């Protein structure tokens, strides 16, 4: 029977969509429409009579899951889309464990420890064991995670490597604490489901529960996730994996691109479809991105092509310092809006590290450009959010000792370390939870807890009991949060403080309440506290950032995976920063460099029409000025793709350690001849823009004139008053230190 062709899909996409039974691997390059293929494939399965609840689609983020569900809603209707299993590995496993967790020692109301909860717990365990000098909770956590990512017992090895002795002592207690609190960490969420897979009853059930399993971003799965997938598709073998080995950028947290590269080793009968037609970028952008990634040896090899011939050359601007870089970008944005009618919403600024965002932000503000920053400190990680949720968690789970410790004195209500120590001792002795211990201490069970302290403990216990009554009376989740913030005294404390920070925290709490309201509406009031808590625990910084209104998007390259923008500014193209040349223990530098290249590839392929690369000659890193040479990735981009802004070579000598042994990149004069900046469509920067309108005192970045050296840009100011000296970059002359009163503002 001829397969009906689906409108608007190319032959390869069609093959992937219409693939029948058995394993399928889709090697999808950037911008080749893989999401579209996945959606079509799922819709087709439904049209062939597969029940929606027999389909499991695993995405990399919650956001991606939400988008996929939305697209499926349109394709197969709301009812079917609602019944499908669409989510991340973690949310899927949480869902399975809520139903079947008793078999692996979890109640249906178990809670999930995020990184912060984990770190806090480890920190308190380290202190308890007086080992807090030996290792930081963070490093200990990463040792635990590193093992668990591979499905290994963290204490299986003790080869005397860094931290292993401490790990051997602490990890058993860590496990014990989690079990006692009916909690799992992120990795346990998956590992517990793997345990279920070994269960004589549940194992076979899980192996046949889903008729079709589809996994997106397969290059970013770790070993445990791979085992999970293999089990879930064991009986049907209807497994579709989609991914791009060139976009594997998470190996530092356990992703195994081998899962994708060697997929056909475990599934030799897998059909392999390569999607190579890119619908996103111009051929110039694609060529530039390809020129970098093709230096990687360990890759499956694809060659993306596009029929969007030509396009504007990739532009590279080398700025004096990070301020000038930011200024250039801000002006570029203004120019593009003015000249090409672009909106702020069309543009994104990508950077390697969050630390770069600050200066960029400042300049955008000066130029009155709206922006939104994706990521950074997550909304859900904010103290006030975690604190209020701890109240709720303690309400639904009185055994949640970590929550008790977190909030027993938040906001401060006079329950100090001494009292908590006594409560803790009592709890251990009686073998009860801290909350119950506090309750009996408040009744006078422990003589060392004096009446004043008893009263305070009673007040705290009353808050939790009161909240439990509110919950029992049938309050919504939103109402519960309002009550928690109210009864705990949190709101009052923040209102009394009345600082910009406290107002910010109040606003965040209001936002949490409104999220809870949305949750209540969505679940028609049937959603429980535990479910809301789970959703928050599994949420990330990126999920919270919806694009409300048109604004320039700012984020790290990692956060940009899967997104696209007409205009992309890729900032900080300097060796040391990008590629990041940080030495890591136990790392293989070639492998690291390959990952950095993939990161560059991901960043560049986000751009549809225009890609602008910026670098600085010097950058302040943690207060110290550092000279940088341009990123080695710039060397790889063919000159016909790259337009470089003509600029006299600075006369200063960069420190020798930063200099190339031999010039890998042609000298700039040569480049300019070949590309002729003037012939290239440039960005019209708003050169006359003066955001301040005043020139009270000279600051870095300002343009000044010196009687001997001519005009230059201030790089740094040193000292104050009449002694002020300025470090000025005079084009054609170089960097000079001059006394401030010898120059005038231009």
C-alpha distances (whole Å) from 724 to each of 660, 697, 711, 738 are: 34, 10, 18, 9
How far apart are the C-alpha atoms of 138 and 131, rounded to whole Å?
Answer: 14
The single residue among 50, 207, 337, 541 that binds DNA, judged by CB under 7 A, is 541
Binding mask 674-713 for DNA (x = CB under 7 A): ----------------------------------------
With binding defined as CB under 7 A, does residue 91 bind DNA?
yes
> Residues 665-674: contacts with CB within 8 Å, 24+ apart?
665/630, 665/634, 665/635, 666/639, 668/644, 671/639, 671/642, 671/644, 672/644, 672/646, 674/639, 674/640
Length of the chain: 746
Binding mask 216-255 for DNA (x = CB under 7 A): ---------------------------------xx-xx--
CB of 23 to DNA, least distance (A): 24
Q: Is 362 a catalytic residue?
A: no
Look up residue 19 and give its two tokens. Answer: 């693939």
How far apart are the C-alpha atoms of 552 and 68, rounded to whole Å?
Answer: 24
Q: Is 112 helix (H, G, I), strand (E, B) or coil?
A: strand
How far apart are the C-alpha atoms of 331 and 337, rounded to whole Å?
Answer: 10
How far apart are the C-alpha atoms of 485 and 520, rounded to whole Å?
Answer: 18
Of the pair 63, 426, the CB lying nearest DNA is at 63
Of the pair 417, 662, the CB lying nearest DNA is at 417
With binding defined as CB under 7 A, does residue 352 bind DNA?
yes
Catalytic residue among 247, 605, 614, 716: 247
The single residue among 236, 238, 278, 419 that binds DNA, judged by CB under 7 A, is 419
Q: Is 35 a catalytic residue?
A: yes
Of the pair 38, 249, the CB lying nearest DNA is at 249
CB of 710 to DNA, least distance (A): 30
The single residue among 78, 355, 625, 737 that binds DNA, judged by CB under 7 A, is 355
Catalytic residue among 71, 280, 491, 606: 606
Q: Is 647 helix (H, G, I), strand (E, B) or coil?
A: coil
The single residue among 13, 32, 62, 259 that binds DNA, judged by CB under 7 A, is 62
Q: Which of 615, 617, 701 is closest to 652 using CA atoms?
A: 617
Catalytic residue among 54, 117, 145, 217: 217
Q: Is 286 helix (H, G, I), strand (E, B) or coil?
A: helix
Of the pair 40, 454, the CB lying nearest DNA is at 454
How far apart are the C-alpha atoms of 479 and 466, rounded to whole Å?
Answer: 13
Q: Is 318 helix (H, G, I), strand (E, B) or coil?
A: strand
Q: Which of 281, 308, 304, 282 is closest to 293 using CA atoms?
A: 304
Sequence-distant (≥ 6) Cβ neighbours of residue 524 within 8 angstroms: none
CB of 255 to DNA, least distance (A): 8
Of the pair 475, 700, the CB lying nearest DNA is at 700
Look up residue 559 and give its two tokens. Answer: 């956060």
Give me the phi and psi of 14, to 5 degrees please. -65, -40
Q: Is 606 a catalytic residue?
A: yes
Binding mask 101-120 for DNA (x = CB under 7 A): -------------xx-----
Residues 432-461 that bind DNA (CB under 7 A): 453
How far apart are the C-alpha atoms of 316 and 326, rounded to whole Å?
Answer: 14
Helices (H) and strands (E) in the chain, counts: 30, 22
CB of 11 to DNA, least distance (A): 33
CB of 702 to DNA, least distance (A): 18
With binding defined as CB under 7 A, does residue 259 bind DNA?
no
CB of 153 to DNA, least distance (A): 19
With binding defined as CB under 7 A, does residue 540 bind DNA?
yes
Q: Which of 1, 92, 84 is closest to 38 using CA atoms?
A: 84
CB atoms within 10 A of CB 716: 19
Q: Using the rule CB under 7 A, give the single segment among 274-282, 313-321, 387-395, 576-584 that binds DNA.
A: 576-584
The single residue among 32, 88, 238, 278 that binds DNA, judged by CB under 7 A, is 88
CB of 621 to DNA, least distance (A): 9
CB of 729 to DNA, least distance (A): 20
For CA atoms 445, 447, 451, 454, give the dihedral sign: negative
Residue 252, CA atoms < 13 Å, CB-side half-sphere: 14
CB 529 within 8 A of CB 392: yes
Please give the helix or strand (H or E) that residue 77 lies within, else none: none
The single residue among 208, 587, 695, 703 that binds DNA, judged by CB under 7 A, is 587
Look up residue 139 and give its two tokens. Answer: 């490093």
With binding defined as CB under 7 A, does residue 538 bind DNA?
yes
Q: Using the rule CB under 7 A, give the single segment among 54-62, 229-237, 284-292, 633-641 that binds DNA.
A: 54-62
The single residue among 248, 282, 539, 616 that binds DNA, judged by CB under 7 A, is 539
Sequence-distant (≥ 6) Cβ neighbours of residue 9 within 8 angstroms: 17, 36, 37, 40
CB of 666 to DNA, least distance (A): 27
Q: Is 195 a catalytic residue?
A: no
Q: Is 564 a catalytic residue?
A: no
With binding defined as CB under 7 A, does residue 555 bind DNA?
yes
Of the pair 225, 440, the CB lying nearest DNA is at 225
Of the pair 29, 375, the CB lying nearest DNA is at 375
Catalytic residue among 34, 227, 535, 608: 34
Residues 389-418 that bind DNA (CB under 7 A): 409, 412-418
How far apart are the C-alpha atoms of 157 and 167, rounded to whole Å?
Answer: 10
Number of residues engaging DNA in binding (CB under 7 A): 53
> Residues 323-328: contacts with CB within 8 Å, 24+ apart?
323/359, 323/363, 323/700, 323/701, 324/616, 324/701, 324/713, 325/359, 325/360, 325/571, 325/572, 325/614, 325/615, 325/616, 326/359, 326/360, 326/362, 326/363, 326/364, 327/363, 327/701, 328/614, 328/685
Residues 131-190 that bind DNA (CB under 7 A): 132, 136, 138, 186
Of the pair 475, 726, the CB lying nearest DNA is at 726
How far apart are the C-alpha atoms of 595 and 293, rounded to whole Å?
Answer: 10
Q: Using the rule CB under 7 A, give the single segment among 86-94, 157-165, 172-180, 293-301 that binds DNA.
A: 86-94
How far apart are the C-alpha atoms of 534 and 466, rounded to whole Å?
Answer: 23
How far apart are the C-alpha atoms of 129 and 727, rounded to whole Å?
Answer: 52
The single residue among 622, 662, 687, 696 that binds DNA, judged by CB under 7 A, is 622
Catalytic residue among 145, 216, 322, 575: 216
With binding defined as CB under 7 A, does residue 542 bind DNA?
yes
The single residue among 34, 44, 69, 90 that binds DNA, judged by CB under 7 A, is 90
Q: Is 720 a catalytic residue?
A: no
Catalytic residues: 34-35, 216-217, 247, 606
Q: Which residues bind DNA (CB under 7 A)?
A: 60-63, 88, 90-91, 114-115, 123, 132, 136, 138, 186, 249-250, 252-253, 352-355, 375, 378, 409, 412-419, 453, 538-543, 555-556, 558-559, 580, 582, 584, 587, 592, 596, 620, 622-623
């Amino acid at each position: 029977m001829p397969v009906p062709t689906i409108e608007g899909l190319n032959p390869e996409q069609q093959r992937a969509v219409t693939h029948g039974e058995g394993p399928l691997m889709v090697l999808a390059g950037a911008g080749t429409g893989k999401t579209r293929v996945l959606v079509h494939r799922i819709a087709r399965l439904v049209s062939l009579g597969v029940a929606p609840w027999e389909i499991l689609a695993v995405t990399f983020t919650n956001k991606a899951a939400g988008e996929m569900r939305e697209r499926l809603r349109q394709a197969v209707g709301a009812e079917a889309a609602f019944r499908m299993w669409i989510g991340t590995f973690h949310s899927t496993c949480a869902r399975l464990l809520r139903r079947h967790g008793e078999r692996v020692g979890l109640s249906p109301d178990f809670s999930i420890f995020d990184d912060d909860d984990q770190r806090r717990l480890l920190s308190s365990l380290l202190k308890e064991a007086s080992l807090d000098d030996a290792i930081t909770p963070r490093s200990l956590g990463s040792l635990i995670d590193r093992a668990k990512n591979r499905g290994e017992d963290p204490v299986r090895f003790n080869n005397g490597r860094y931290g292993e002795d401490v790990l051997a002592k602490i990890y058993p207690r860590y496990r014990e604490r989690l079990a006692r609190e009916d909690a799992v960490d992120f990795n346990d969420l998956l590992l517990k489901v793997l345990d279920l897979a070994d269960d004589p009853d549940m194992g076979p059930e899980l192996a046949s529960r889903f008729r079709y399993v589809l996994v997106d971003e397969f290059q970013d799965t770790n070993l445990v996730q791979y085992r999970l997938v293999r089990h879930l598709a064991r009986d049907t073998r209807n497994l579709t994996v989609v991914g791009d080995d060139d976009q594997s950028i998470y190996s530092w947290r356990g992703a195994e691109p081998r899962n994708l590269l060697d997929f056909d080793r475990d599934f030799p009968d897998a059909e392999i479809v390569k999607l190579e037609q890119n619908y996103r970028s111009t051929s110039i952008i694609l060529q530039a991105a390809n020129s970098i990634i093709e230096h990687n040896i360990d890759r499956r090899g694809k060659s993306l092509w596009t029929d969007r011939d030509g396009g504007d050359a990739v532009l590279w601007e080398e700025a004096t310092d990070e301020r000038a870089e930011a200024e250039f970008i801000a002006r570029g944005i203004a120019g593009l809006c003015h000249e090409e009618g672009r909106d702020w919403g069309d543009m994104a600024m990508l950077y390697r590290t969050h630390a770069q965002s600050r200066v960029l932000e400042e300049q955008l503000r000066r130029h009155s450009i709206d922006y939104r920053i994706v990521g950074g400190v997550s909304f859900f990680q904010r103290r006030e959010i975690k604190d209020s949720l701890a109240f709720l968690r303690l309400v639904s789970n009185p055994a949640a000792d970590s929550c008790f410790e977190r909030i027993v004195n938040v906001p401060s209500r006079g329950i100090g370390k001494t009292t908590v120590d006594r409560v803790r001792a009592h709890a251990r002795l009686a073998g009860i939870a801290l909350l119950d211990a506090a309750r009996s201490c408040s009744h006078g069970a422990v003589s060392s807890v004096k009446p004043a302290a008893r009263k305070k403990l009673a007040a705290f216990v009353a808050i939790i009991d009161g909240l439990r009554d509110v919950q029992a009376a049938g309050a919504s989740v939103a109402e519960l949060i309002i009550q928690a913030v109210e009864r705990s005294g949190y709101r009052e404390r923040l209102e009394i403080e009345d600082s910009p920070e406290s107002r910010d925290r109040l606003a965040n709490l209001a936002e949490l309440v409104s999220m809870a309201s949305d949750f209540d509406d969505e679940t028609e009031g049937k959603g429980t506290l535990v479910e809301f808590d789970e959703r928050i625990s599994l949420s990330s910084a990126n999920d919270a950032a919806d694009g409300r209104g048109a604004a320039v998007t700012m984020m790290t390259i990692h956060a940009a995976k899967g997104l696209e923008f007409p205009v992309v500014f890729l900032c900080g193209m300097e060796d040391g920063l990008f590629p990041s040349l940080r030495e890591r223990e136990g790392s293989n530098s070639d492998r690291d460099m390959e990952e950095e290249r993939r990161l560059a590839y991901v960043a560049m392929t986000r751009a549809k029409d225009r890609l602008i690369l910026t670098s600085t000659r010097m950058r302040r890193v943690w207060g110290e000025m550092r000279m940088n040479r341009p990123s080695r990735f710039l060397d790889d981009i063919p000159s016909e793709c790259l337009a470089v802004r003509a600029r006299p070579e600075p006369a200063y000598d960069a420190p020798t350690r930063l200099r190339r042994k031999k010039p890998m990149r042609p000298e700039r004069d040569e480049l300019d001849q070949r590309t002729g900046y003037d012939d290239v469509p440039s960005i019209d920067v708003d050169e006359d823009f003066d955001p301040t309108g005043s020139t009270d005192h000279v600051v870095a970045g300002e343009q000044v004139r010196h009687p001997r050296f001519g005009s230059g840009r201030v790089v740094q100011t040193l000292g104050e008053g009449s002694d002020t000296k300025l470090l000025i970059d005079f084009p054609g002359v170089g960097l000079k230190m001059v006394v401030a009163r010898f120059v005038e503002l231009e």
